[in-house]
Amino acid sequence: MSCIEKTPGWLDWHPRPAKPFLALPLGAVDAHCHVFGPAQEFPFAAERKYTPCDAGKQQLFALRDHLGFSRNVIVQASCHGTDNRAMLDACKASGGRARGVATVGRDVTDLELQQMHAAGVRGVRFNFVKRLVDCTPEDELLEIAERIADLGWHVVVYFEAADLPALWPFFSRLPNTVVVDHMGCPDVREPAHGPGFGLFLQLMHEHDNVWCKVSCPERLSVTGPPALHGELRPYQDVVPFARRVVEAFPHRVLWGTDWPHPNLRGHMPDDGILVDFIAQIAPTRALQHQLLVDNPLRLYWPEDA
């Protein structure tokens, strides 16, 4: 790993993730992961809020194979701003096994959008997490959403649970499929049947274009890391939240590793353990197949669905 002035306290990804006990279904998609740099080739954005360690496409593809995934969805991370070159390069190098989610401004041209589509991009991400990005006006985001709808692209939204009431009217106006990162970041110290997470579930009930990534137990958990590979119930406090969503909306859920796990404090997860977490939130083979194969194919590889 080569790093340039990474953020103090930065944790690098797990060097030797375990082989998962869970056998992933054939064709499984890791639908949320990132590439960072390498900075020498793809410099980080001047406006970034953190400087990560390089985490390039070769490491990502090696992890894909090690864990038993067939494909990746590479989501543009805020440290690269609207410069999508690292993500596009990875998609192009994947031989059709990676699709991308870009970040664009209103100045993006139609030609650039078409070129991104040809490289494998199928969505844009709107990031509302204040520690990661400066605010973009909603009318600008709506304009982008309407333009990409013509390409059949969806919108990925990343926000924190406390901001959902304020964002609700904006989400309701989006003409696209809307994919929510990490279940809208619930506070898992509250009950999964409580009003906070209830509001998020209501969003999904009232808007059948809203999908959800039941990802990032390592980010949401407050009980700390699982003890050992093979522990039967890793990230137990997140399970009731993710399981509720999977069981209520089996056709509208996705899952991803979130490798290389930006901005984690405290511990770096073993990606093999994260895969084993899936068995707790999608306990049947049928649910696992929907979560890991059928749903991501519908959104990212509809030609294969």
What string marks each residue from 219 to 248 as x (binds ligand 0GY by CB under 6 A) or -?
------------------------------
- Nearer to ligand 0GY (CB atom), residue 77 or residue 116: 77
Please report whether residue 132 would count as binding ligand 0GY according to CB under 6 A: yes
The minimum distance between CB 40 and ligand 0GY, in angstroms, equals: 20
- Nearer to ligand 0GY (CB atom), residue 34 or residue 64: 34
Separation between Cα atoms, residue 44 and residue 35, nearest integer Å: 11
- Nearer to ligand 0GY (CB atom), residue 132 or residue 142: 132
From 14-22, 256-264, 281-289, 295-303, give the range in contact with ligand 0GY by CB under 6 A. Answer: 256-264
Separation between Cα atoms, residue 40 and residue 21, nearest integer Å: 37
Phi, psi for residue 39 in degrees, rounded to 5: -60, -30
Please report whether residue 203 would count as binding ligand 0GY according to CB under 6 A: no
The minimum distance between CB 87 and ligand 0GY, in angstroms, equals: 11
Of 186, 262, 269, 296, which one interacts with ligand 0GY (CB under 6 A)?
A: 262
Q: Which of 117, 104, 184, 183 is nearest to 150 (CA)?
A: 117
- Nearer to ligand 0GY (CB atom), residue 14 or residue 34: 34
Q: Which residues contact 179 (CB under 8 A, 6 or more apart)?
A: 123, 154, 155, 156, 157, 210, 211, 212, 213, 254, 299
Separation between Cα atoms, residue 261 and residue 271, nearest integer Å: 10
- Nearer to ligand 0GY (CB atom), residue 45 or residue 279: 45
From 54-62, 75-83, 143-151, 167-175, give the range in contact with ligand 0GY by CB under 6 A. Answer: 75-83
Q: Is there a catalytic annotation at residue 304?
A: no
What are the helix (H) ranges across 107-150? 110-119, 138-149
Q: Which of 117, 41, 33, 146 is nearest to 83 (CA)?
A: 41
Q: Find the binding residues for ligand 0GY in span 166-185 (CB under 6 A).
A: 181
- Nearer to ligand 0GY (CB atom), residue 88 or residue 287: 88
Please report whether residue 77 would count as binding ligand 0GY according to CB under 6 A: yes
Q: Find the binding residues for ligand 0GY in span 80-109 (CB under 6 A).
A: none
Residue 257 C-alpha from the chain's centroid: 8
The DSSP line for 147-181 is HHHTTT-EEEEE--GGGHHHHHHHHHH--S-EEEG
# residues contacting ligand 0GY (CB under 6 A): 11
Please report whether residue 263 would count as binding ligand 0GY according to CB under 6 A: yes
Give the DSSP letter of residue 107. T
- Give the 3-state secondary structure of residue 123: strand
Please report whether residue 30 would count as binding ligand 0GY according to CB under 6 A: no
Tokens of 11: 């944790």
- Give the 3-state secondary structure of residue 66: helix
Give the DSSP letter of residue 61. H
Dihedral of the alpha carbons of 7, 123, 126, 85, in degrees to the nearest 10: 40
Separation between Cα atoms, residue 161 and residue 212, nearest integer Å: 13
The minimum distance between CB 24 and ligand 0GY, in angstroms, equals: 21
Of 18, 39, 55, 79, which one interacts with ligand 0GY (CB under 6 A)?
A: 79
State the catalytic residue, choosing from 30, 54, 258, 276: 258
Interacting residues toward ligand 0GY by CB under 6 A: 34, 77-79, 127, 132, 158, 181, 258, 262-263
Catalytic positions, please? 258
